Amino acid sequence: MTTNTANSTNGTTAPTGAAAPFGFTEAPASINVRVLSPAGFDYQLTMRASRVGDVLNQAQELERWLLKHDWTPAASRPAAPSTTATTGEPPICPYHNKPMTRRSRDGRSWWSCNEKLSNGEWCQYRPKDRA
């Protein structure tokens, strides 16, 4: 007896016309979105569906829920290091688009955003290319 198989994008082989082991299959349509929680945490969410229209409907529902619960879009992080390394200027917080402040304590130094989130907590963004 011959079984037809197809390679998935994760390198495994699954029988065609049948569900992959444990029910995982590769969705033909997906959307990724990065959001900032009300507490300031950065999340990446992925929605998948078998049709583009379905995943777009999921995205609209997710957007309504996120806005209702005070989640905000996460700003794209700069691909290149900030100009601080060459100009001495402070980095800009990508969430608030404002210059950051240099802080020091116990022999450690870091850049800190001076803006509070909608829940009253301080922004937790820290640039990775700054010591």
pLDDT in tens, 63-103: 999 999 999 888 765 544 444 454 578 898 888 888 999 88
Is the domain of 130 the same as that of 79? yes
Is the domain of 100 the same as that of 130? yes
The answer as to whether 103 is a domain residue is yes
Is the domain of 43 the same as that of 84? no
The answer as to whether 69 is a domain residue is yes
Predicted TM-score (pTM) above 0.85:
no
Domain boundary among 58, 73, 88: 73
The answer as to whether 9 is a domain residue is no
The residue among 59 and 21 whose pLDDT is bigger is: 59
The answer as to whether 48 is a domain residue is yes
Is the domain of 60 the same as that of 82? no
Q: Assign 105 a pLDDT band (cuts: 50, 70, 90).
A: confident
The answer as to whether 1 is a domain residue is no
Number of domains in the chain: 2
Q: Which residues are CB-neighbours of 67 under 8 A, at least 6 positions away?
A: none
Query: CA 61 to CA 55: how far, in whole Å?
Result: 10
Is the domain of 92 the same as that of 67? no
Question: Tokens 């200027």 — which residue?
Answer: 89
Range of the domain at 97: 75-131
Is the domain of 68 the same as that of 97? no
